[in-house]
């Protein structure tokens, strides 16, 4: 974690331990999915919206928007409607809801059933960029406006820069990198990738001030802490750039209580957020709030996707953290699952449409826990992933990808090979290192691929194994688990990279959580654990000699024994 992010893991561990206790008790008396007694009480309005989203996901329409092209100054919309009634095309910006919209931002009445029309890209005196809008066809029946097509986002956007891609050199990476005395690990461990936490409310401001970088977006100026940007982010990204590491930045929003600019944090806080949670969902309900998050996104992406990599290079962008644990990590209040997922998709699309202007090779990653069909905190990750996939097919596919946190169900137990919830089934409750084949199979299904043909990237962007203590016994568990986990990752071509969490043990991970490859700085000087040496050997000529000594400990005769055959995953 970066800066204040070090403290976040304590809440994360406590929340998961509570979930584990509940789930373990129920699992002891039933093999069925956990049912909680304290289900959140949703408002009827939110339940109605949830039902509308589910119906929309599975709807079919005879009319369609076939293409949306955004140029430097225009938006061109093409489509066709089917029927003899009165039809119009509606523009839906992110701060409006397609499925309960009273009046769209703009309307166009086609002269024929097949149509193409263009509009100015910037409106409201330049305060809104239609790059962020989607478009749909409605039929005016006289008594109501009936949705007659799926909405569609931009298919093509102008190319403001075209940096070369940063392909993964290998599958080995580090999560939550930060400046410290162990940057040499980038070389010693031969890391090909990393994730970088960007707590945007640590360095973003609405007002000018000494030492702040100015950035204009849609006619308003926003400001960023120059010292933090230059001496933290830039310095770190220049280190990764020297080594040609592929870096994914994680866009994170903290609540007002810990934000540097309280006014900005209030602007970014969804009105449904009643407090609580370590991170929040950015507010997508007003133009001012949407523009604020878009401006922050535009500043960061434009800075770190330059063709000359002047400030360092970021090759992918992860949108928020563990959104299936919404009340902890993307808090917008208690909302039903499909309502929440639809809202998250709006944030994903906003980031994606801005990103594609600057880097056509980058992917927009969605972040999930180790949940699959059993919620680790709030929602089953599989349900959310499938809704995102289906919504993309309905509204125009885009290059979203997966950032999964494949811990064992019990985060403190490094014996990942024994995780009881990680069964070889597409209906498994949890996807951890033990049953990564489930995720590997899911991402290769044609209905989940980009345009039905291109596999989406999968990064295990936050995953590691605990050592419980520094005893020889507990360190051996961690190192054997590391060997086991790497063999799984290495064998599955659907899994593109593993970014280990945590680099160094820290108190912010919670009591008895020693997830680092290095020991505490205080008292141990960050000494490398045995697992560090296992991770170093992974993917090198030294791997067999290092790894094979753990076969006996794991009760194996050969590493092939840990793999599930494709036919076993049902």
The pLDDT tens digits for 431-475 are 999 999 999 999 999 999 999 999 999 999 999 999 999 999 999
The predicted pLDDT at position 567 comes to: 86
Residue 36, pLDDT > 90, answer no
Candidates 365, 376, 495, 501; CA nearest to 430 is 376
Across 25-29, 196-200, 359-363, 516-520, least confident range: 25-29
User: Which H/E stretch holds residue 174?
Assistant: strand 172-174
pLDDT band at 33 (very low <50, low <70, confident <90, very high): very low
What percentage of the chain carries pLDDT values higher than 90? 88
Strand partners, 454: 450
163-193 pLDDT, tens digit per residue, is: 999 999 999 999 999 999 999 999 999 999 9
pLDDT band at 502 (very low <50, low <70, confident <90, very high): very high
Q: What is the mean pLDDT of residues 1-26?
A: 36
Q: What is the mean pLDDT of residues 56-74?
A: 98
Q: Are 456 and 363 in contact (CB under 8 A)?
A: yes
pLDDT band at 512 (very low <50, low <70, confident <90, very high): confident
Neighbours of 396 (CB within 10 A): 20
What percentage of the chain carries pLDDT values higher than 70? 93
Residue 76, pLDDT > 80, answer yes
pLDDT band at 10 (very low <50, low <70, confident <90, very high): very low
Residue 11, pLDDT > 90, answer no
Span(s) in the chain for CATH 2.60.40: 61-147
516-546 pLDDT, tens digit per residue, is: 999 999 999 999 999 999 999 999 999 999 9
pLDDT band at 8 (very low <50, low <70, confident <90, very high): very low
Residue 507, pLDDT > 90, answer no
Candidates 21, 8, 39, 97; CA nearest to 334 is 39
Q: Are 519 and 505 in contact (CB under 8 A)?
A: yes
Residue 75, pLDDT > 70, answer yes
- What mean pLDDT, rounded, does the chain reach? 92
Residue 413, pLDDT > 70, answer yes
Which residue is associated with the tokens 């204009």? Answer: 216
Residue 35, pLDDT > 50, answer no
pLDDT band at 38 (very low <50, low <70, confident <90, very high): low
Q: Are 246 and 193 in contact (CB under 8 A)?
A: yes
The predicted pLDDT at position 533 comes to: 98
Taking CA 515 as the corner, what is the angle to CA 245 and CA 410, rounded to the nearest 5 degrees? 120
Candidates 306, 311, 397, 404; CA nearest to 352 is 397
Neighbours of 292 (CB within 10 A): 22
pLDDT band at 40 (very low <50, low <70, confident <90, very high): low
The predicted pLDDT at position 504 comes to: 97
The contacts of residue 228 (CB under 8 Å, 6+ apart) are 202, 203
**Radius of gyration of the CA atoms of the chain, in A:** 24
The predicted pLDDT at position 102 comes to: 87
The structure tokens listed for 261 are: 């600019």
The predicted pLDDT at position 39 comes to: 61
Q: Are 311 and 299 in contact (CB under 8 A)?
A: no
Residue 28, pLDDT > 80, answer no
User: Which H/E stretch holds residue 128?
Assistant: strand 128-129
Q: What are the distances in angstroms from CA 165 to CA 169, 344, 363, 411, 550? A: 12, 26, 11, 34, 37
The predicted pLDDT at position 463 comes to: 97
Q: Using CA atoms, how far apart are residues 494 and 486, in angstroms rounded to an integer?
A: 14
Residue 27, pLDDT > 80, answer no
The structure tokens listed for 15 are: 């929340």
Topology at the third CATH level for domain 61-147: Immunoglobulin-like (2.60.40)
453-465 pLDDT, tens digit per residue, is: 999 999 999 999 9
């Amino acid at each position: 974690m970066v800066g204040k992010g070090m403290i976040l893991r304590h809440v994360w561990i406590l929340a998961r331990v509570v979930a584990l206790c509940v789930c373990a008790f129920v699992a002891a008396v039933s093999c069925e999915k956990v049912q909680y007694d304290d289900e959140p009480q949703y408002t009827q309005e939110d339940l109605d919206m949830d039902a509308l989203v589910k119906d929309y996901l599975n709807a079919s329409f005879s009319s369609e928007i076939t293409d949306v092209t955004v140029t430097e100054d225009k938006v061109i919309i093409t489509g066709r409607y089917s029927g003899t009634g009165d039809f119009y095309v509606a523009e839906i910006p992110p701060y409006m809801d397609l499925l309960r919209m009273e009046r769209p931002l703009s309307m166009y009445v086609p002269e024929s059933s097949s149509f193409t029309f263009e509009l100015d890209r910037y409106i409201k005196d330049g305060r809104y960029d239609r790059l962020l809008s989607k478009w749909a066809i409605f039929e005016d029946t006289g008594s109501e406006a009936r949705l007659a097509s799926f909405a569609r986002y931009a298919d093509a956007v102008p190319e403001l820069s075209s940096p070369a891609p940063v392909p993964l050199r290998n599958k080995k990476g580090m999560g939550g990198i930060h400046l410290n005395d162990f940057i040499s690990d980038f070389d010693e461990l031969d890391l090909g990738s990393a994730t970088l936490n960007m707590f945007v409310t640590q360095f973003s401001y609405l007002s000018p001030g000494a030492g702040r970088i100015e950035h204009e977006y849609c006619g308003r100026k926003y400001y960023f802490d120059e010292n933090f940007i230059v001496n933290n982010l830039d310095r770190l990204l220049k280190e990764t750039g020297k080594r040609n590491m592929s870096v994914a930045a994680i866009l994170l929003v903290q609540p007002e209580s810990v934000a540097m600019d309280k006014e900005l944090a209030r602007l970014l806080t969804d009105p449904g957020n009643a407090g609580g949670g370590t991170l929040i969902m950015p507010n997508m309900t007003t133009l001012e709030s949407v523009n604020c998050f878009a401006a922050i996104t535009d500043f960061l992406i434009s800075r770190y996707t330059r063709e000359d990599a002047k400030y360092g290079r970021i090759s992918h962008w992860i949108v928020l953290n563990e959104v299936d644990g919404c009340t902890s990590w993307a808090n917008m209040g208690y909302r039903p699952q499909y309502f929440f997922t639809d809202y998250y998709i709006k944030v994903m699309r906003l980031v994606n449409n801005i990103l594609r202007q600057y880097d056509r090779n980058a992917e927009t990653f969605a972040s999930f826990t180790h949940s699959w069909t059993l919620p680790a905190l709030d929602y089953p990750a599989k349900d959310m992933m499938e809704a995102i996939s289906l919504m993309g097919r309905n509204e125009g596919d885009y290059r979203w990808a997966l950032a999964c946190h494949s811990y064992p169900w019990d985060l403190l137990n490094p014996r990942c090979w024994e995780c009881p919830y990680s069964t070889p089934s597409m209906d498994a409750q949890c996807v951890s290192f033990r049953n990564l084949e489930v995720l590997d199979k899911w991402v290769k299904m044609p209905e989940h691929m980009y345009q039905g043909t291109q596999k989406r990237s999968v990064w295990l962007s936050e995953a590691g194994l605990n050592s419980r203590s520094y005893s020889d016994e507990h360190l051996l568990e961690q190192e054997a688990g590391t060997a086991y986990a790497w063999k799984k990752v290495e064998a599955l071509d659907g899994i593109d990279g593993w970014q280990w969490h945590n680099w160094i043990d820290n108190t912010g991970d919670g009591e008895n959580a020693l997830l680092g490859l290095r020991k505490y700085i205080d008292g141990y000087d960050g000494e490398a654990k045995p697992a560090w040496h296992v991770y170093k050997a992974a993917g090198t000529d030294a791997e067999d000699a290092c790894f094979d000594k753990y076969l006996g400990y794991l009760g194996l005769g050969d590493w092939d024994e840990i793999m599930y055959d494709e036919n076993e995953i049902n």
